[in-house]
């Protein structure tokens, strides 16, 4: 997965939700309550990935659950969505929308990270699994903005 543009920083919940999030006011309030600090997102040749820094590890876990419910298992998820875990990456949960995209969400300390890959013709989840492993290896239990 190669970056195709500069990283984008959203420093407020309102900036993060400005792209047409339904019920943005409620989302902004919820994220502020979770101690939203920032989101860094990167467009890649295959999709988008981002890291969200929140106020605590428990806030990151709650946000992961919210994101999973909204995008991976909620009513808008296709019935034939495949869900998977990634051995070796604690809390990682992934899903593949057939012939559409693959995504992995996982927490590291106070951060929630998403690795996304637009698939167009098959259900190959290997790129997001490899990327999640690479990020986990670089960040797990190391000093930095995600450390608690």
* Domain ranges across the chain: 8-139
If residue 108 lies in a helix (H) or strand (E), which one and from where to where? strand 101-108
pLDDT of residue 41: 94
- Helix then strand then coil, in percent of the chain rounded to 5, is 30, 30, 40
**Is residue 1 within 8 Å of 127, Cβ to Cβ?**
yes
Q: How far from the centroid of its chain's Cα atoms is residue 22's Cα?
A: 18
Give me the long-range contacts of 133-136 (CB less than 8 A, separation at least 24).
133/86, 133/88, 133/89, 135/108, 136/88, 136/89, 136/92, 136/106, 136/108
pLDDT in tens, 66-87: 999 888 877 777 778 888 999 9
pLDDT under 70 in the chain at which residues? 1-2, 120-123
Residue 123 pLDDT? 65
Give the H/E segment covering residue 132. helix 126-139
């Amino acid at each position: 997965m190669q970056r195709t543009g500069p990283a984008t920083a959203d420093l407020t919940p309102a900036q993060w939700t400005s792209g047409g999030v339904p019920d943005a006011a409620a989302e902004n309030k919820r994220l502020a309550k979770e101690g939203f600090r920032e989101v860094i997102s990167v467009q890649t040749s295959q999709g988008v990935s981002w890291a969200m820094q929140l106020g605590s590890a428990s806030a990151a876990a709650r946000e992961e659950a919210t994101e999973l419910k909204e995008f991976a298992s909620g009513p808008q998820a296709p019935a034939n969505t495949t869900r998977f875990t990634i051995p070796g990456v604690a809390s990682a949960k992934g899903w593949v929308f057939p012939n559409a995209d693959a995504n992995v969400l996982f927490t590291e300390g106070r951060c929630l990270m998403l690795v996304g890959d637009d698939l167009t013709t098959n259900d190959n989840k290997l790129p997001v699994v490899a990327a999640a492993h690479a990020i986990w290896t670089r960040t797990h239990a190391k000093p930095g903005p995600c450390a608690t």
